[in-house]
Structure 1
Amino acid sequence: MLKTVIFWPAIAQVALILVGYVYLFCARLAAVGSGAVTSTDFAPGEEPAESAAGRRHLANQFELPMLFFVVIGFLFLIDGISILELALAWLFVAARLLHTIGSLKGPLTLRHSSFFAAFLLVVALWVDLAIRIL
């Protein structure tokens, strides 16, 4: 298998993060346009709910996904890419997609369960890396 294929889930995760930026921009633009805020100063606690949800979600994209990006890079460097790592990586992205839906529009249980699934998947990738370098 071509080892660079592992970068496609990483690229998909980046695309998901970029969607978060677009969502936040649109939410803030709508808030200013509707007069919900009088300026473009969106201080925490003073911004509309949709903007606050987008901001919190975007901040979350720089927590657990960062561990994902690092482990993908390490696995690539040691030639540790197989169908297992590729499947785990795509499942992580799918879980993060569900987390995005749950965070921005869906039920709280979807956000929690998808975060936990993504957490377990990134742990599995790190355990896999540890086993490969033993």
Structure 2
Amino acid sequence: MTLVTKFLVFAMAAQVLLTLFILVWMGRERVPRVMSGEIAMADIAVERTAYPLKARLLSNNFENQFQLPVLFLVAALLALALGIVGWVEVVLAWLFVAARYLHAAIHVTSNHVLSRFAAYSVGLAVLALLWLWLVLRIFLAPSI
């Protein structure tokens, strides 16, 4: 495996790590409250409003990790499968992951909506560039 390919895989792993981190943090916020009886199971069976704000923010952010990041992971896997991983893909991948970390940090702390939207928009723009780049490479490649 080439160095550039490893860097792309590491970007994918960093995105997965963020998702797992948010999941564990969410569990640490939610499970003790249910186990202690502070929150009744019936109150959370259908919706999350019984949880405190921090737990709801973490839950919302965890759900966010299965939106744009899924499209990122598909793009990265496509590049890996087709053997067209280059430094452009790696830089765009890491920029996307950095934007996702920033988005998550804002979402689960201050939740300042304009800042969160800006981080989301940067990630979306980078993801769009990654997909555009991949499509152009595939379209223009003579032997893919």
TM-score, normalised to structure 1, is 0.89
Measured after TM superposition, the shift of residue 70 of structure 1 is 0.2
**Which residue does 2:142 correspond to in 1?**
none
Contact 1:68 1:122 in 2 (8 A): yes
Larger Rg: 2
Measured after TM superposition, the shift of residue 40 of structure 1 is 7.9
Identity %: 30
AA at the equivalent of 1:110: S
Q: Which of these residues, 84, 101, 106, is aligned with residue 102 of structure 1?
A: 106
* Distance of aligned partners of 1:40 and 1:31 in 2 relative to their CA distance in 1, 3 Å threshold: farther
Matched, 1:7 2:9: yes
Matched, 1:127 2:132: yes
Matched, 1:114 2:95: no
Aligned partners of 1:69 and 1:50: how far apart in 2?
Answer: 27
Could you list the runs of 5+ residues in structure 2 that have no partner in the other structure? 140-144
Measured after TM superposition, the shift of residue 65 of structure 1 is 0.2
AA at the equivalent of 2:135: A
AA at the equivalent of 2:5: T
**Which residue does 2:27 correspond to in 1?**
25
Aligned partners of 2:96 and 2:42: how far apart in 1?
Answer: 34
How big is the alpha-carbon RMSD for the aligned residues of Structure 1 and Structure 2? 1.9
Matched residue SS, 2:85 = coil
Matched residue SS, 2:31 = helix
AA at the equivalent of 1:2: L
Matched, 1:75 2:79: yes
AA at the equivalent of 1:73: L
Aligned partners of 1:41 and 1:23: how far apart in 2?
Answer: 21
Could you list the runs of 5+ residues in structure 1 that have no partner in the other structure? none
**Which residue does 1:16 correspond to in 2?**
18
The superposition leaves residues 33-57 of structure 1 with CA deviations (integer Å, 9 ceiling, x where unpaired) of 7764134853423322221111111
Aligned partners of 2:36 and 2:52: how far apart in 1?
Answer: 11
